[in-house]
Chain A
């Protein structure tokens, strides 16, 4: 009989792997739920600050922030948000694939790229690629705090205001649903026209908001040219606002990426556990057959021996 013992030990080892993958699946599922809550909790701030910026883009301000004006690209900053740990299916590799695609396009156009990587996976990958990594944070855990994003955003935003880089892009995974996550590249600065919004709908000053519903994006603004009263100076305030905006978008992306990581891991671990289960069943069958065969053979030998006497 073909190694009943070997089959048994193989089954044992697969069983222990299955135990691990099952545990990881359950942990990921519960973490995903929490990550989704955090992601949703961060949304109102992002929406509101977008609103304010879209208002700002339509105000008749003397001061034009570099964050609102397009310039020619010579060097771009890329903030890449990845996970710290692996075993989450193709999440990171899909993200890196589109990143490399974008980087290659820039290289063709003669645009240089500075990288700010979040998470060890992106760091390892782009170090091997010899990317120009200017900042790196990792080990943010499953509940990233808002403070965590301040460092990398500051490095990039400072470089942007000083004119060392001409645009900042953000790369992260968008959470579509548990089964699918979509890698995305988004421009953070200069603020895209999508964020700035289209020209406001005009109305007269007697506008009364419908207080039962939330004020939607692109709130109706007065028709005549207007500007804010700034306290203190407009430069300071607008820069502060844009900085906060950047931080909030990056934080949101970070929260979203955690949810993606957990969802992807959950799915990957589930399929691994399933595979292990079917494999164990199959091996068990082979093992039983082998065992029976060996018993039959032994019996035959005994009977044959008895007959020979």
Chain B
């Protein structure tokens, strides 16, 4: 009986591949890995590069990953691919930005004033409609 692996490749925004395979070759951080069924449990980081999957018929399928994580269980291979190239400083700058935004916005009271006013007017109109509707219902039942 042929030994198979179940392979899942997912990225945060979509599923790339899910199905049986004979072998998976992935760019591990410490070198390329070839994974066959009954490989022992393994957890590693991936480098940007190609993931090759040999399907049951011997046909091969290629995927590009820009880094991520690879988990191996004896019969299941899971690749959690990153969506985009990420660097440490990218995360850091995103965090900085979020922090600064909070500080800035706390000080700033007037931003989006015009838009907010237009919205408030519309909300008022809708509230009026609702109130009238309710009153009408009350009057009808009463």
- A→B interface (CB under 8 Å): 13-14, 17, 20-21, 38, 41-42, 44-45, 48-49, 51-52, 55-56, 59, 85-87, 116-117, 120, 123, 127, 133-138, 145-147, 150-152, 154-155, 158, 205, 207-209, 211, 214-215, 219, 221-222, 226-232, 234, 236-238, 240-241, 244, 247-248, 251, 268, 271-272, 275-276, 278-279, 282
**For residue B15, which residues in chain A have a CB less than 8 angstroms away from its CB?**
41, 44-45
Asked if B13 CB lies within 8 Å of chain A CBs, one says: yes
What is the chain A residue whose CB lies nearest that of B134?
A275
Provide a sorted-by-A list of 6 A–B residue pairs whose CB atoms are within 8 angstroms: A45-B12, A52-B78, A56-B43, A87-B123, A154-B91, A154-B92
Question: When the two chains form their complex, are residues B20 and A211 in contact, meaning their CB atoms are under 8 A apart?
Answer: yes
Question: Beyond A41-B13, A87-B122, A211-B6, is A151–B97 a contact (Cβ under 8 Å)?
Answer: yes
Asked if B53 CB lies within 8 Å of chain A CBs, one says: no
Whole-angstrom CA separation of A86 from B124 in the bound complex? 12
Question: When the two chains form their complex, are residues B80 and A228 in contact, meaning their CB atoms are under 8 A apart?
Answer: no
**For residue B106, which residues in chain A have a CB less than 8 angstroms away from its CB?**
127, 133
Other A-B pairs, 5, CB within 8 Å; known A42-B14, A215-B6, A247-B12: A123-B102, A205-B38, A215-B8, A219-B76, A232-B45
Number of chain B residues whose Cβ lies closer than 8 Å to a Cβ of chain A: 59
Whole-angstrom CA separation of A127 from B80 in the bound complex? 37
Asked if B50 CB lies within 8 Å of chain A CBs, one says: no
**For residue B101, which residues in chain A have a CB less than 8 angstroms away from its CB?**
135-138
CB distance from B56 to the nearest CB of A (A): 9
Question: Beyond A45-B11, A147-B84, A231-B45, is A137–B30 a contact (Cβ under 8 Å)?
Answer: no
* A-B pairs with lowest CB-CB distance, top 10: A151-B94, A136-B102, A151-B98, A44-B15, A231-B44, A211-B20, A154-B95, A135-B98, A228-B43, A45-B10
Question: When the two chains form their complex, are residues B45 and A219 in contact, meaning their CB atoms are under 8 A apart?
Answer: no
Question: Beyond A41-B14, A85-B119, A229-B40, is A209–B4 a contact (Cβ under 8 Å)?
Answer: yes
Question: When the two chains form their complex, are residues B98 and A59 in contact, meaning their CB atoms are under 8 A apart?
Answer: no
Picked from B13, B43, B92, the residue with its CB within 8 Å of the CB of A42 is B13
Asked if B41 CB lies within 8 Å of chain A CBs, one says: yes
Question: When the two chains form their complex, are residues B29 and A232 in contact, meaning their CB atoms are under 8 A apart?
Answer: yes
Asked if B54 CB lies within 8 Å of chain A CBs, one says: no
What is the chain A residue whose CB lies nearest that of B92?
A154
Question: Main secondary structure on chain A at its contact with chain B?
Answer: helix
**For residue A247, which residues in chain B have a CB less than 8 angstroms away from its CB?**
12
What is the chain B residue whose CB lies nearest that of A150?
B94
Total cross-chain contacts (CB, 8 A): 187
Whole-angstrom CA separation of A251 from B44 in the bound complex? 23
What is the chain B residue whose CB lies nearest that of A241?
B69
Question: When the two chains form their complex, are residues B76 and A14 in contact, meaning their CB atoms are under 8 A apart?
Answer: no
**For residue A205, which residues in chain B have a CB less than 8 angstroms away from its CB?**
38, 74
Question: When the two chains form their complex, are residues B41 and A228 in contact, meaning their CB atoms are under 8 A apart?
Answer: yes
Question: Beyond A136-B98, A231-B30, A275-B133, is A17–B122 a contact (Cβ under 8 Å)?
Answer: yes
CB distance from A143 to the nearest CB of B (A): 10
Asked if B75 CB lies within 8 Å of chain A CBs, one says: yes
Whole-angstrom CA separation of A21 from B126 in the bound complex? 9
**For residue A237, which residues in chain B have a CB less than 8 angstroms away from its CB?**
43-45, 69
Asked if B61 CB lies within 8 Å of chain A CBs, one says: no
What is the chain B residue whose CB lies nearest that of A43?
B15
Which residues of B from 20 to 36 have beta carbons under 8 Å from A?
Answer: 20, 28-30
What is the chain A residue whose CB lies nearest that of B5?
A209
- Of B13, B91, B96, B129, which is in contact with the most chain A CB atoms at under 10 Å from its CB? B129
Question: When the two chains form their complex, are residues A272 and B4 in contact, meaning their CB atoms are under 8 A apart?
Answer: no
Question: Beyond A42-B13, A136-B98, is A272–B130 a contact (Cβ under 8 Å)?
Answer: yes
**For residue A215, which residues in chain B have a CB less than 8 angstroms away from its CB?**
6, 8, 76
